[in-house]
Amino acid sequence: MNPTTASTAPARDIEFWFDFGSNYSYLSVMRIEAEAAARGVRIHWRPFLLGPIFRALGFDNSPFVLQKEKGAYVWKDMERQCRKYGIALTRPSVFPRAALLAMRVALLGAEREWIAAYCREIMQQNFVHDRDIGSVEVVGEALVKLGLPAQQIIAEAQSDANKLRLRGQTEAAAAKGIFGAPTFFIGDEMFWGNDRLEDALDFCYSSPC
């Protein structure tokens, strides 16, 4: 590819909307960086709170909790999917687990180089180690493990401005028609569910994105 072609080629971008309490978001968080890199696609990380979305739809909890049969199926499916991808899984003792602080930090770091590694670490703390990812202790440990200034980042994440940003991001998710996580956007084209990750990434090459 010559420099002229490279400079005029359409940008390849995917918006990745996720919540740390979402089991299928766990699968996508663990896979998306490698899958996107293999296709030359840039990820825009979009953490949002799934709880308000569910409440607006009339659910006071995850449908996987409210519907016993669906919940039983989902965890069996998670076992199969984790075997397929070679991802560890321990069913959390609390599901869905509140992760407000972890989400605020993710929003703060969404455009920083550590976002992918941070998200994988938080997801593993929830879905492998069964720890409280809403706690300062666990979030702080995750940041320290990545060599980051945990105290400074947590303080910034807990600022009123960042809290409002997360609320606004969740409102933006609702405005885009998002009803679950993970959700991916290629331009205005929406793909829902971990099993649509590859379809979303490949769509970049069937339509400008």
Q: Which residue type does 161 have?
A: A
User: Quick one: tokens of 157?
Assistant: 């994440």
Q: Which of 105, 93, 96 is nearest to 141 (CA)?
A: 105
Is 207 one of the catalytic residues?
A: no
**Residue in 7, 22, 135, 207 annotated catalytic:** 22
Helix%, strand%, coil% for the chain, nearest 5: 55, 10, 35
- Can you tell me the distance from the alpha carbon of 2 to that of 127, in angstroms, rounded to the nearest whole number? 45
Q: Report in angstroms the alpha-carbon separations of 121 from 20, 62, 141.
A: 11, 23, 10
- Can you tell me the distance from the alpha carbon of 82 to that of 26, in angstroms, rounded to the nearest whole number? 10
Q: Report in angstroms the alpha-carbon separations of 15 from 30, 49, 178.
A: 16, 15, 12
- End-to-end CA gap in the chain: 19
Enumerate the active-site residues. 22
